[in-house]
Amino acid sequence: MVVVIIDGSTILSFVNNETQFQKSIEEAFASLDLDNDGVLSRSELRRASESLRLIETHFGVDVSTPAEEVAKVHDAVFEKFDCDKSGTVDRKEFGNEMRNILVAIADGLGFCPIQMALEDEDKISFLKLAADFEGSKVFAV
């Protein structure tokens, strides 16, 4: 587990650094594209959202959610990412939607710092990457 302190400006700084953000998108996309076909299928994107366990937990406590409700949420997430309705999510669609999500999180946080405990250090966490990016600016000479 990693504990980070972030606010909206931390996330916006990361998203607005095109080089760092695109590098992170490339790495995340590559880790999700299990069959290396250059697009994310519904099942690949679902596997990624399932790993976050946002639906199955409530403030870290497991809750019972009907399978059909979980499926509806995963389908809605996929539809949001699949902007051109091709049935797959390409790298550009993935990057654009991740940018939208992170900007929305930043807007919600504003300039009030929060402390977050992030699990699974081996998985890509855009919030941890944003905190690391901010930290690298402090220690840069």
CA 100 vs CA 11, 36, 58, 93, 106: distances in Å: 11, 25, 23, 11, 10
Residue position matching structure tokens 């901010």: 134
Residue 29 CB partners (closer than 8 Å, separation 6+) = 40, 91, 94, 95
Whole-prediction pTM value? 0.79
Q: H or E element: which one contains 115?
A: strand 114-118
Q: Where residue 68 sits, what CATH number does that domain have?
A: 1.10.238.10
DSSP-derived letter for residue 120 is -
Provide the pLDDT for residue 52: 59
* pLDDT of 130: 85
Residue 123 confidence (pLDDT): 63
Name the least confident of 50-54, 66-70, 71-75, 105-109: 50-54
Largest Cα separation within the chain, whole Å, is 53
- The number of domains in the chain is 1
Whole-number Å distance between alpha carbons of 94 and 31: 13
Position 6 confidence tier, pLDDT thresholds 50, 70, 90: confident
Predicted confidence (pLDDT) at residue 111 exceeds the cutoff of 80: yes
Range of the domain at 10: 2-139
